Structure 1
């Protein structure tokens, strides 16, 4: 895994620019992870269906107002469509992708934390000069 090297910057505008870029990258990698994790969920769902609802509770007395769950047949019909069993063969690839994305997300998070720390340190050294100049802060 390659770690991004965050250059040491003293220019507040450069730090803010780097921080914006890292935050955008972080949002993008999080979106990709959600997509990969959703595909993982679909692949698992194609290979295995959950147990029927209510079977274990059939012998227990139910309180007034108890609502019967949908039947297993209804649930299977509604959720099975479009889930070919071939999806299960994608599980190793999807898991590997998710691991790589998680590693990359950690690197981006570390770089963002480092740039944020540099920005805070730069502002702490001489806030008046940094905040009053042409590089007055914009939202970060």
Structure 2
């Protein structure tokens, strides 16, 4: 097993929500494509395009999740949204690093980005999907700060 095999879709990453799982699969596929581009030393424009595609897909995915959370009154909405903002900031730093020095964007950089995304899937998205799939079973959260309780 190589260091990057974790970027291949694995059953343990499935959360049980078709749309979210499909988006996660697509993000991992894009990361593997970026890894391959770097490993084969393709031109920096191709790598930049691949990186930008990952950023765009991630941002679209986050917006979709936030719509689902808001629509279901997910009690962890604000914390989850903050996690999205943190990941967006980290991705922004990676893009800036690439733009400043494309050669500094390495396989290790892709691995670190993959770890951030996988951590988010396993630690942040799992409880959200559990709530989305069974809101009554996980709704014993009276008094928690949510998007709906703010407005």
Structure 2 length-normalised TM: 0.37
Rg comparison, structure with higher value = 1
Where relative contact order (Cα < 8 A, 6+ residues apart) is larger, the structure is 1
Greater share of helix: 2
Structure 1 length-normalised TM: 0.39
